[in-house]
Amino acid sequence: MKPRPPTMRGKRRYILVRMDPPGLDLDGRELYYAISESLTDIFGDAGVARIQPSVVSCGEGYAIIRCTRSAEEKVIAGLATVAYIRERKVAIRSILTSGTLRSLRQHLDTLRDGQSFPERDVTFQKRPWISVRFRGTKVDLFEKGFKNQERLFLTEDDLEE
Amino acid sequence: MQYTDACVFPLPLGDSSLRRMAFEARELGFDSIVAAGVAGSVYRGIEIIGGTLIHAKETREVQAVLRKDTPQPSLPIVSAGGYSFNRAVIQAGWAKVIREIHTTPRNSFDHIISRMAADKQVAVDLDLSVLIQERGYMRQKVLQRYADLVSLQGRFDFPFTISSGARSILEMKSRRDMIALCGLFGLDREGALSALGNVSRIIHREKPVEVVA
C-alpha cells in the first residue's frame, strides 16, 4: 500500500511537557490514559476524537504529546487539569509547542541536565525526614516510615533556619 | 507588566514552603505571588504579597478583621457571600479582591454590583483550582459561573485576578496553563494576561485627581 502523500495528511502539533515532581517514573501508557481521561472529562468523546491526543515519547521527567493542529490550547488545558496519576500527586506542565518533533527534541536536549539527586537524613519541625536535593536550591523532604509518606517541598534556606 | 498568581497557600496550610512556592512561581513565569496569611517580602527576585483572607457572613466581621492591627499592610481578599453582603463590601471599599464567587447564588453578583466593582476597582478573583479539583456537574457549574462573569466584565470592565489556589507547588500553574484554562470559560489570551497583571494595578492604584487648593 502506498503511504499517503504529506500534503494529504492531517497537520499535527507537538507539545513538550515536564512532569513534576522530579524523580517521577511514569510510562507513556499511564500518561496517555491520564491525558485522555482528563480531555474526555472536559471536551467529551467527540472532542477527544477531534483532538487525537497521543504520547510520542516519555521519560526522564519529560514527554512529547501529539495532537491535531488548532487543538493545542485544548490539550494544554487538559494537561493542566491532570492532578493525580496512579493515586500520586503530579503536575504536567506544558513547556513548548511546535510543528516538528526535531525542534522539540533539540529544546529537550538543553533541558535535560542528567543530575543525580543526593539524599541525606535531616530533622525538620522536630521530625526525621529524608531530604533529596534538586537543581537550584530545591529540597524535597520525604517522611520516614512505611505508609502514607508525607512529602514537603522546601528550599535549602528553609532547612538552614 | 507584573504577572501575579493571586492566591497561594504555603506551609502550614499546604505542603510547600513560601520560598519554594516563590522559586516555583519564577520558573512558571510570574513576577509575584499573593500568599495567604504571610507578611510581604521579596525572595530571589519574586515579590511575595501578603494576603488577608476574610471569610465572613456579615459585614461587621469584615470590619473587625480589617480593624485589627497587622504588622505589615496586606491585600484584603474577601470571600463572596449573598447579594447584600457583596454590595456592602464593595461599596465600602473594604475588599480589594472578592473571591469564591462560584460558591454563591447566581444573583449575588449582578450588573449593579459589576458597575460598582468597576467604579471602586475591586477585582473579582477567578480561582482555577476548582476547575481542576471538581468533576462533572460541579465543574460545569463553575465554568458557567465564570463565563457569566466574563460576559459581565466585558460590559462593565471591572478587574479580574487569576489565582491557582495552590496548596502545593504541584498545584501551581504556569502562565501558559492559566491562559489555556481561562479559554475554557471564554476569557481570551489578552483578557487573561491583563487579569494576571491586575494585582499590581490594584495595589498601586492611581487615585482620582483632587483639587487641593
**Does residue B67 carry a pLDDT above 60?**
yes
Question: CA nearest B28: which of B51, B8, B50?
Answer: B8
Contact (CB, 8 A) for A45 and A38:
no
**Does residue B39 carry a pLDDT above 80?**
yes
Mean pLDDT of B179-189: 94
Contact (CB, 8 A) for B116 and B159:
no
Residue in chain A nearest B137 by alpha carbon: A41
Give the integer Cα–Cα distance in Å for B202 and B97. 9
Of B23, B135, B170, the CB nearest to A91: B170
* Inter-chain residue contact A94 with B174, CB threshold 8 Å: yes
- Quick one: pLDDT at residue B30? 93
**Does residue A114 carry a pLDDT above 60?**
no
Gap from B57 CA to chain A (nearest CA, Å): 31
- Quick one: pLDDT at residue B151? 94
Domain boundaries, given as residue ranges, for chain B: 4-203
Give the integer Cα–Cα distance in Å for B125 and B160. 6
Same domain? For A87 and A141 the reply is no
* Inter-chain residue contact A138 with B11, CB threshold 8 Å: no
Q: What is the mean pLDDT of chain A?
A: 87
Same domain? For A42 and A85 the reply is yes
**Does residue B70 carry a pLDDT above 70?**
no
Is A2 part of any domain? no
Question: CA nearest B50: which of B76, B16, B74, B79?
Answer: B74
* Inter-chain residue contact A41 with B139, CB threshold 8 Å: yes
> What is the grid cell recorded at B118?
468597576
Q: Which of A3-7, A135-139, B137-141 has the highest mean pLDDT?
A: B137-141
Same domain? For A25 and A83 the reply is yes
- Quick one: pLDDT at residue A66? 95
Gap from B46 CA to chain A (nearest CA, Å): 14
Give the integer Cα–Cα distance in Å for B149 and B155. 10
Cell 495567604 identifies what position?
B36
Domain that holds residue A149: 119-160
**Does residue A10 carry a pLDDT above 90?**
no
CB pairs under 8 A between A and B: 79
Count of structural domains within chain A:
2
Q: What is the mean pLDDT of chain B?
A: 89
Of A74, A76, A153, the CB nearest to B16: A153
Is A3 part of any domain? no
**Does residue A146 carry a pLDDT above 70?**
no
CATH for B4-203 is 3.20.20.140
Is A1 part of any domain? no
Which of A39-48, B58-67, B201-210 is predicted with the least confidence, judged by mean pLDDT?
Answer: B201-210
Instruction: Determine how β-strand B123-127 pairs with β-strand B4-8.
Output: unpaired
Mean pLDDT of A21-30: 85
Mean pLDDT of A12-35: 90
- Interface confidence, given as ipTM, is 0.89
Is A40 part of any domain? yes
Mean pLDDT of B7-15: 90
pLDDT for B106-130, tens place per residue?
889 999 999 999 998 999 999 999 9
Same domain? For A99 and A146 the reply is no
Same domain? For A107 and A125 the reply is no
Same domain? For A87 and A60 the reply is yes
pLDDT for A37-80, tens place per residue?
999 999 999 999 999 999 999 988 899 999 999 999 999 999 99
- Quick one: pLDDT at residue A37? 94
**Does residue A152 carry a pLDDT above 90?**
no
B2 Cα distance to chain centroid: 15
Of B17, B128, B183, the CB nearest to A153: B17
Query: B207 falls in which pLDDT band (50, 70, 90)?
Result: low
| CB neighbours of residue A77 within 10 Å | 23
Same domain? For A73 and A131 the reply is no
Mean pLDDT of A19-33: 87
- Quick one: pLDDT at residue B162? 95
Give the integer Cα–Cα distance in Å for B23 and B12. 17
Contacts of B198 (CB under 8 A, 6+ apart): B4, B123, B159, B160, B161
Question: Looking at per-residue confidence, does B35 or B68 come out higher?
Answer: B35
Buried b (16+ CB within 10 A) or exposed e, A113-143: eeeeeeeeeeebeeeebebbbbeebbbbbee
Same domain? For A82 and A33 the reply is yes
**Does residue A127 carry a pLDDT above 60?**
yes
Length of chain A: 161
Same domain? For A131 and A106 the reply is no
Q: Which of residues 145-184 of B touch A (CB under 8 A)?
A: 168-174, 176-178, 180-181, 183-184
Mean pLDDT of A17-22: 89
Same domain? For A102 and A144 the reply is no
Question: Looking at per-residue confidence, does A8 or B163 come out higher?
Answer: B163
Contacts of B202 (CB under 8 A, 6+ apart): B75, B96, B97, B121, B123, B159, B161
Q: Which chain A residues touch B24 with a CB distance below 8 Å?
A: 153
pLDDT for B158-176, tens place per residue?
999 999 999 999 999 999 9
Q: What is the CATH number of the domain that holds A46?
A: 3.30.70.3250
